[in-house]
Amino acid sequence: MFERRKKAWVAAADMGYGHLRAALPFQDIAQGGRIIAANDYPGIPESDKKIWEDSRRFYEAISRFKKFPVLGDFVFALFDKFQEIKEFYSSAEGIEAPTIQLKQIYRLMEKRNWGRNLIWKLNRKPLPLICTFFTPAHMAEFWKYEGPIYSVVTDTDISRAWAPLRPKKSKIIYCASTKRAAERLKRYGVRQENVVLTGFPLSEEFTKKNAAKAKRDLKRRLEVLDPSRRYRRQYGKTIEQYLGTVPKSVSRKRVVLTFAIGGAGAQAELAQDIVEGARPLLQKGKLELHLIAGVHAEIAQRLLRQKGAGRVFVHSSSTKKKYFKDFSAILSKTDILWTKPSELVFYAAFGIPIIIAPPIGSQEKMNRKWLLEVGAGIDQKNPEFLRQWLPDLLEDGAFAEAAMQGFVEIPRDGAKNIKKLVCGS
């Protein structure tokens, strides 16, 4: 049995970046060394693929439409109601009823055999199944997958859709990213023994082999983020406790700011605003700006035409596989990450302070709230006046404090914990 559990099927949904990013740390234990895209695997029935595609296109369209005045916010709010995460402390009692979203997933499985083909293929060799999106986990249980099923939670708090229709009878084991996510699952009716607090599975370029490098990067980053040494004078002993001695000077004083455009491409206009707001700092050589367009080549071309003078670098990748590799390389030299509060909030664990762009959807609102509570993120100010507020926050040591808060408070061993849970070692 032990030998059989050394490998696992790893299933994600190739929709945006979040669920694939969470799956990558398990590639070394994935059967055949590959991650299965539940919405685009070899031999997927056309009917299944169409359901996935319709869902992706609808979400991306809604995300982009949100920027339209008045009507955009109204339409998105209506859509977001279906994936709402309710207040944790409330007068509601008992297990929360299944949402329309969850019922629709089960209806599609029952009426249109959604996911049956995938689980039938996996059942030929029923290894442990790691899912980084709730739908494949629900499919596995509905179609009677014979092996253990693990559902990796990819946000700090989650909607009812993550828990099965009948949670008390479910065999799905949840790998919770945060204490709040774990408690939320129990409130949804998932049995306590099926909820394990593991932490989020971070990229192993920064954890497994390069933990020492993460510390070195943070030491260098603190010097850049705390030019007045205000934070280090006040919290020097704390810094030494976690990092050792921090050098008093570095050769580079320029701040490296990275802005990540999400998978739906809805933040392209914000990227343009950032370039304009940063222009005076770029021209003075005080800032280096990296814009990550992901696989959106057309957005990258638009930003390249706009970037003008100064150290502005626009990155786009031909495939998502290359994007994740490119992203890790850029992140290792980044001083401040500017992003919407997606799964990237967990990357503050490496001592990278986050400027929080406006959230899209209930789960991102919760991610923002969590990041602010941890102290590892700062809400964005008006991008038009970036030249004013960024230097002020640097001078106050606010980014240095956020960097240390993330490094100290956010666990980095999620992938290791999940592998131990699944494989036993």
Ordered DSSP codes for 203-234:
-TTTTTTTHHHHHHHHHHHHHHH-TT-HHHHH
Q: How confident is the model at residue 60 (pLDDT cuts 50, 70, 90)?
A: low
pTM of the model: 0.91
Q: Are residues 322 and 386 in the same domain?
A: yes
Q: Cβ neighbours of residue 274 under 8 Å, at least 6 residues apart? A: 259, 289, 291, 338, 383, 386
pLDDT at residue number 97:
81
Q: Which residue, 321, 366, 356, 360, is CA-closest to 162?
A: 366
Q: Are residues 174 and 29 in the same domain?
A: yes
Number of H helices, E strands in the chain: 16, 12
420: in domain: no
DSSP annotation of 5 reads G
pLDDT at 210 over 80: no
* Lowest-confidence pick of 71-80, 136-145, 344-353, 392-401: 71-80
Q: Are residues 395 and 322 in the same domain?
A: yes
170: in domain: yes
Using H for helix, E for strand and C for coil, what is the string for 274-331?
HHHHHHHHHHCCCEEEEEECCCCHHHHHHHHHHCCCCCEEEECCCCHHHHHHHHHHHH
What is the number of domains present in the chain? 2
pLDDT at residue number 5:
47
Q: Are residues 332 and 374 in the same domain?
A: yes
Which domain-ending residue is among 163, 180, 201? 201
417: in domain: no
Q: Are residues 47 and 101 in the same domain?
A: yes
Token representation of residue 13: 């949904």
228: in domain: yes
416: in domain: no
Mean pLDDT of all residues belonging to the chain? 89
pLDDT (mean) for 254-270: 83
CATH code of the domain in which 401 resides: 3.40.50.2000
Q: Are residues 194 and 272 in the same domain?
A: no
180: in domain: yes
DSSP class per residue in 101-131: HHHHHHHHHHHH-TTHHHHHHHTTS---EEE
Q: Are residues 180 and 318 in the same domain?
A: no
pLDDT at 115 over 80: yes
401: in domain: yes
Model confidence pLDDT, tens digit, residues 37-58: 999 999 999 999 999 998 877 6
* Lowest-confidence pick of 50-54, 158-162, 251-255, 288-292: 251-255
Q: Are residues 107 and 169 in the same domain?
A: yes
Token representation of residue 303: 């930003």
Q: Are residues 56 and 191 in the same domain?
A: yes
pLDDT at 69 over 70: no
Q: Are residues 224 and 184 in the same domain?
A: no
Token representation of residue 396: 């106050």
Strand partners, 379: 356
Strand, coil or helix: what is 365?
helix
pLDDT at 70 over 90: no
Model confidence pLDDT, tens digit, residues 328-350: 999 989 999 999 999 999 999 99
Q: Cβ neighbours of residue 264 under 8 Å, at least 6 residues apart? A: 16, 59, 60, 63, 64, 360
pLDDT at residue number 395:
96
Domain that holds residue 273: 211-409
Which domain-ending residue is among 201, 229, 247? 201
* Lowest-confidence pick of 16-20, 89-93, 330-334, 336-340: 89-93
pLDDT at residue number 42:
95
Sign of CA dihedral 283, 288, 293, 295: positive
418: in domain: no
Q: Are residues 193 and 254 in the same domain?
A: no
Model confidence pLDDT, tens digit, residues 179-196: 999 999 999 999 999 999
pLDDT (mean) for 204-224: 81
Model confidence pLDDT, tens digit, residues 352-394: 999 999 998 889 999 999 999 999 999 999 999 999 999 999 9
Q: Are residues 263 and 300 in the same domain?
A: yes
pLDDT at 77 over 70: no
pLDDT at residue number 287:
96
